[in-house]
Structure 1
Amino acid sequence: MTLPENTVGVAVVHNPAIWEQLPNARLRGTARDVFDVLTARQEPGGHVRIYQGDIAERLNITKGAVSRAMSDLRDLGLIHPRTKQGYVLIHPLFAGYESVAHMVNHLDDPATEVWALRFPVGDMQRPRRAADARTGTGSDPDPDGGEGAPAPEARPNLRLAG
């Protein structure tokens, strides 16, 4: 994969398998918006240099709302549990990288800290859909058995008033 010259050092490759697990985190709207801002602003490897005030201004919300969202992200393990002011580290599995090789090397490096995700990950742990409440009630959403609807009657000609 070759990057244009002006995008070197930009996180453009993500691990698609782990991103399919993000709905299992059940992020609230604000937390998801904050996480989207963080992932959009990250450097390769998941490093983000941004202040909560900047996020609040960008999303047009209060700093308190951003702080609560960041706390939710920390509790789920999506960002490093010990963030510094103006510096956030996204979990290496959700981080963006310059290339697939950079991602593999970063994740294989023993110096890379990988902390626990605190939400169900894996196909077996996804929540099941609730059963259809209409089951066994005699309610049929398609009573004509899928037959075509009758053609509408001809509409009357309309004239402009005036």
Structure 2
Amino acid sequence: MSTPGFHNPEIFEVLPNARLSPTARDVFDVLTARQEPGGLVRIRQQELAKRLGIAQGHVSRAIGQLRDKGLIEGRQRHGSVLIHPLLAGYESLAHMVNHLQDPATFVWPLNFPTGDIRPPRSGDPRTDTDFDPDPDGGEDAPAPEARPNLRLAG
């Protein structure tokens, strides 16, 4: 199984515009570190809470904020989430382009400004730290049982 090594760098430049809470940003960092190519992440909220050392209620609120901003799919499957295709990791640039052009890929709207780039909050406690969203060193995600069926909004 290959690991997602290519990310769309331009979309990550506007991620501060989403104005995520520090907890939501930490949860998103863990999700992006644990994703399969194309953005599917198999992880339970209990595991996220344990990994970040916070209560599961905080993780649940952070997941809600990520969903409200459009960073993850609104329909959460039990134990898995789908990162927005523009923010997902891919095997290569060609894999990303093919996935985004596939008519079966559902690309939902992002609910934050993606124009001008805003700097991160000055009070972000992770600034100038060595925060590691995946302290286990990037262990392999479980092998996918089946690719999710994605639909194009229309």
- TM-score, length basis structure 1: 0.71
Q: Unpaired segments of 5 or more residues in structure 2? A: 120-154
Instruction: Tell me how far apart the structure 2 counterparts of residues 39 and 83 of structure 1 sit (CA, whole Å).
Output: 16
Alignment match of 1:29 (pick from 17, 22, 27): 22
Residues 57-86 of structure 1 show CA distances to partners (whole Å, capped at 9, x for unaligned) of 000001000000000000000000001110
- TM-score, length basis structure 2: 0.75
**Counterpart mapping for 1:53-68 below 5 A:** 53-68=46-61
**Counterpart mapping for 1:7-156 below 5 A:** 8-123=1-116, 126=117
> Residue type matched to 2:51 in 1?
R
Which structure: larger Rg? 1
* Off by >6 Å, runs of 4+ in structure 1: none
The RMSD of aligned alpha carbons is 1.2
Instruction: Tell me how far apart the structure 1 counterparts of residues 59 and 71 of structure 2 sit (CA, whole Å).
Output: 15
> When you count strand as a share of all residues, which structure comes out higher?
2
> Residue type matched to 2:59 in 1?
V
Higher relative contact order (CA 8 A, sep 6+): 2
Q: Secondary structure at the match of 2:24?
A: helix
Deviation at 1:122, TM superposition (A): 1.2
Query: What number of residue pairs does the alignment pair up?
Result: 119
